[in-house]
Structure 1
C-alpha cells in the first residue's frame, strides 16, 4: 500500500475543487495509483475537512489485557455451549 503525503492529498483536493480536472485526470497528473483513490480523498474531505498531519494511531494493548480478553471470550463461549447442551438434554 502506497502512502501519499498530506501535501499531495491537499494539492489534489484543491485542484479538484478549483475545477482543474476530474478524478481520473488528477490521478494521472499527480501520479496517484487510481482515480478511486482521488475520489476517496474528496469524499473524506467533504466529510471531515482537509487532511492534516495527524495520522491514525494504532493502539498498543498490554499482553495482560489481551490475555484477559481472550479468557473472557473463552468463558462466554463455554457459557453458551453449556446452555445449549443443557437445552438439548431436556
Structure 2
C-alpha cells in the first residue's frame, strides 16, 4: 500500500521488484526505471531463510500507473523451512495472501 500511496501523490508510475533474496522499489522518470532508496522505499532483504521463488529470470516486477493501480497482476511465492505462501496483487490492486 505504501508504494501505491506514493504513486498517487507523485502521479508517476511506480514499480516493485522481487528477487530471491529481497525486494525494492523504483519509479518511472524520463522513460526509465530509477531505483528508490528514500524511506519507506528502501531495498530490503528477506529475513532469515526466507526466499522468493522467482524462476529462471531471477526477478519478478509489478508496475503501478499514475493512479496507483497495477498495470498487470502479480503472484510471488515465498518459501522458508519447507513452507510456502503466495502473495498476489490483482488488477484492482487487492493484495491476497494464501497458502
Shorter-chain TM-score bucket reads under 0.3
**Quick one: higher RCO (CA 8 Å, sep 6+), 1 or 2?**
2
Task: Provide the TM-score with structure 2 as the length reference.
Answer: 0.22
The structure that is helix-richer by fraction is: 1
Task: Provide the TM-score with structure 1 as the length reference.
Answer: 0.23
- Rg comparison, structure with higher value: 1
